């Protein structure tokens, strides 16, 4: 398959390490995604995002001056972005729990731990294409629903209109 | 600039709005998505991707050597912030460059520095990690030996963090 039918797809890679940025771009190219914009930090990434309106974003976590968490918060909260629901996949070497939770709470859609593997990257891209997540808008959060699955042992409180359906 | 996407969700009793995934634009239409996924899982894509990884290996190795020089410099200067930054780059690149064990060692060093959260660190623990990472990437340590060293370093980090915790320090 040539991948030509995906010429309209647009991706944005926000990563301060030029080698990793090139690798990610080239892997996306191998998937048939030819329009890949690049940025070296969140500030630059936000400008690119406004201009390009990408279909999804890959972002690193640690960058200066604006890191991937702040960038994600900005994308979710800003009135200036074309699509605040855009899937954001965080590609990070940080495996510390507090950073992963901070990324999730900022509104990241998926997280991939470095080192990057083809399987890891492609499975997350497949996930955002095949199974888009519902979004939640609350007083202090806007982003993909952080509840991935219903837990059988969960006894409430029931706060969702679809809780009962999920658990039956 | 493009018009901003607006999507309507359902308001729950606690005031939270839940917006279904079909209420906002998908990455691509369903028909395209099926083709895209088939392409993503195809042998041709797997082959192309492996070619990309292989082609990037030399560049990654060159970059890795630069980060190791900087890591050794930071270790000599006892600059903990620079040490973390360089180790973080190494853990991200090492596997792709063909030095997965060095990546694991660098990850252990990052976890050690991060867990200490500014508390005094053990110089020997830092020094052993820096030396071991350098030896793996230079080819002095490889295979089973490198794996054993990596396991010993992990055990050392666990022990040192345990000691720090016992002293009431972060860890």
Domain count, chain A: 1
**What residues of chain B lie within 8 A of the CB of A122, using their CB?**
40-41, 45, 49
Measured in angstroms, the CA of B124 and the nearest CA of chain A are apart by 23
**What residues of chain A lie within 8 A of the CB of B48, using their CB?**
30
Which of A52-66, A145-159, B35-49 has the lowest average pLDDT? A145-159
CA distance to A88, B91, B97, per residue, from B53 (Å): 23, 16, 9
- Taking an 8 Å cut-off on Cβ atoms, the answer to whether A138 and B16 are in contact is yes
**pLDDT band (50, 70, 90) for residue A155:** low
Tell me, yes or no, if A129 comes closer than 8 A to chain B by beta carbon. Answer: yes
- Taking an 8 Å cut-off on Cβ atoms, the answer to whether A138 and B10 are in contact is no
- Looking at residue A57, what is its pLDDT? 98
- Taking an 8 Å cut-off on Cβ atoms, the answer to whether B18 and A136 are in contact is yes
- Looking at residue A153, what is its pLDDT? 62
- Taking an 8 Å cut-off on Cβ atoms, the answer to whether B2 and A128 are in contact is no
Domain B36-166 is found in CATH 1.20.120: yes
Angle at B151 between CA B149 and CA B157, to 5 degrees: 100
**What residues of chain A lie within 8 A of the CB of B86, using their CB?**
none
Helix (H) or strand (E) holding A149: none
Distance CA B122, CA A100 (A): 26
- Please give the residue range of the domain that contains residue A161: 4-167
CA distance to A97, A104, B136, per residue, from B144 (Å): 30, 37, 11
- Looking at residue B29, what is its pLDDT? 87
CATH number assigned to the domain comprising residue A45: 3.40.50.2300
Measured in angstroms, the CA of A20 and the nearest CA of chain B are apart by 7
pTM: 0.83
- Taking an 8 Å cut-off on Cβ atoms, the answer to whether A93 and B3 are in contact is no
Domain ranges of chain B: 36-166
Give the pLDDT mean for B87-102. Answer: 92
């Amino acid at each position: 398959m040539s991948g030509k039918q995906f010429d309209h797809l647009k991706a944005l890679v926000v990563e301060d390490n030029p080698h990793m940025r090139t690798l990610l771009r080239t892997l996306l190219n191998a998937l048939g995604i030819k329009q890949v914009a690049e940025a070296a930090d969140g500030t630059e990434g936000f400008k690119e995002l406004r201009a390009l309106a990408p279909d999804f974003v890959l972002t690193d976590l640690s960058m200066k001056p604006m890191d991937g968490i702040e960038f994600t918060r900005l994308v979710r909260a800003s009135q200036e972005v074309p699509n605040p629901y855009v899937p954001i996949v965080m590609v990070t070497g940080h495996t510390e729990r507090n950073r992963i939770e901070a990324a999730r709470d900022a509104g990241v859609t998926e997280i991939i731990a470095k080192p990057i593997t083809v399987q890891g990257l492609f499975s997350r891209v497949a996930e955002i294409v095949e199974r888009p997540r519902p979004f939640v808008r609350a007083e202090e959060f806007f982003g993909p629903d952080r509840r991935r699955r219903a837990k059988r042992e969960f006894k409430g409180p029931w706060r969702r209109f679809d809780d009962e359906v999920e658990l039956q | 600039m493009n018009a901003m996407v607006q999507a309507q969700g359902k308001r729950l009793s606690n005031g939270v709005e839940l917006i279904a995934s079909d209420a906002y634009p998908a990455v691509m239409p369903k028909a395209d998505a099926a083709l895209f996924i088939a392409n993503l899982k195809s042998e041709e894509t797997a082959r192309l991707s492996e070619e990309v990884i292989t082609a990037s290996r030399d560049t990654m190795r060159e970059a890795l050597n630069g980060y190791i020089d900087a890591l050794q410099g930071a270790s000599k200067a006892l600059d903990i912030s620079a040490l973390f930054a360089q180790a973080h780059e190494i853990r991200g690149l090492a596997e792709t460059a063909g030095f997965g064990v060095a990546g694991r060692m660098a990850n252990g060093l990052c976890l050690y520095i991060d867990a200490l959260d500014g508390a005094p660190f053990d110089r020997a623990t830092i020094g052993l990690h820096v030396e071991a990472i350098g030896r793996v990437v230079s080819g002095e340590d490889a295979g089973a030996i490198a794996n054993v060293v990596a396991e010993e370093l992990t055990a050392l980090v666990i022990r040192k963090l345990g000691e720090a915790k016992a002293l009431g320090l972060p860890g």
